[in-house]
Amino acid sequence: MNLCKKLRTTCALAVAACLMFGGAAWAESVVPAKNTAANSLVNCETRNNAGIQSIIGAWNIKGAPDETLLAIHKDGTYEFMDKKGDGSCYGTVKVIFEKHPDGSRTPWYNFYKSDGTQWMGFTKNEAKKVETDLWSGHDGAVHFVRRLENKYHKTGKNINVDDYLGVWGCGRCTVVIDKEDRGYLVNVKWASSAADGSNWTYHCVYDDYSAILLCNGGGTRVDYVFTDSGKESCKERYNDGAGTFVMRKGVLTWQDKKENAGASIELRR
């Protein structure tokens, strides 16, 4: 069974989990619900998205770190990227409680696509402040593990994604970081001379847990040359690049995973 089919099957199992044994389920939305009596408990627990704090950050399916990326954000949204299939999606996260006949309840993280349909459900471990594993459904068919890039989560306190936005430079290299749609666009320009150089483009997601920008694939490099007459010619070198951008203490570093292009520079505003 390929990844996309497995995800769809697991989604169906998660929905069934809330209905089996005659149990009931209710949700705690990570976005404050309207003021109704039925939603009073929802508002009390989730005004600051406390229900999903333990899973905020970047994840990948175990054994496929370069093929998949799941980014869960503080505002209760998520993006899932699958480089080899058609399973990429985005949407919102809710905490669902499965109520059992004996009065006990089981918490779940339910992920909903932008069209409102359910994408995936994971059991929630309420004993952990920071979860490192997410298992889908009752059978754990899909296993996500937290990405801990070089332990950056230990140095990312008080850093926000807005701290990355703007223009950064070091010598002939300039990096511009802007918001785009559901992520962040990073453009890198490195001039070898006045007449030639290279441009890298990355579509990134922000890892709220480690406070870094991640591009898991699709990064491009285009080399350019200007002739004496001023005419520009461009050649794409590749379109399967990946990279990480890390800002600490006012210094931005670029970790290019395709050819290690940014290893020697430290960029500042």
Q: Each residue of 140-163: pLDDT tens digit? A: 899 999 999 889 999 999 999 999
Q: Which residue has the tokens 């970790």?
A: 255
Tokens of 135: 């298992």
Q: Is residue 33 scored above 80 in pLDDT?
A: no
Q: How far apart are CA 57 and CA 72, in angstroms?
A: 5
Cα-to-chain-centroid distance, residue 63? 17
Do residues 73 and 91 touch, judged by C-beta distance below 8 A? no
Average pLDDT of the chain, as a whole number: 84
Do residues 73 and 206 touch, judged by C-beta distance below 8 A? yes
Look at 24 and 85; give whichever has higher pLDDT: 85
Pairing of strands 173-180, 166-170: antiparallel
Do residues 56 and 29 touch, judged by C-beta distance below 8 A? no
**Quick one: CA dihedral 120, 123, 125, 126, positive or negative?**
positive
The phi and psi torsions of 261 (rounded to 5 degrees) equal -65, -35
Q: Is residue 267 scored above 60 in pLDDT?
A: yes
Q: Is residue 88 scored above 60 in pLDDT?
A: yes
Amino acid identity, position 91: G
Q: Which residue has the tokens 């490195």?
A: 190
Give percent of the chain with pLDDT exceeding 90: 68
Tokens of 69: 């990326």
Consecutive H or E run containing 190: strand 183-191
Look at 102 and 25; give whichever has higher pLDDT: 102
Burial of 139 from C-beta contacts in 10 A (0-12 / 13-18 / 19+): exposed
pTM above 0.85, yes or no: no
pLDDT per residue as tens digits for the range 37-81: 222 233 223 333 558 999 999 999 999 888 899 999 999 999 999
Q: Is residue 218 scored above 60 in pLDDT?
A: yes
What is Dmax (Cα atoms) for the chain? 81
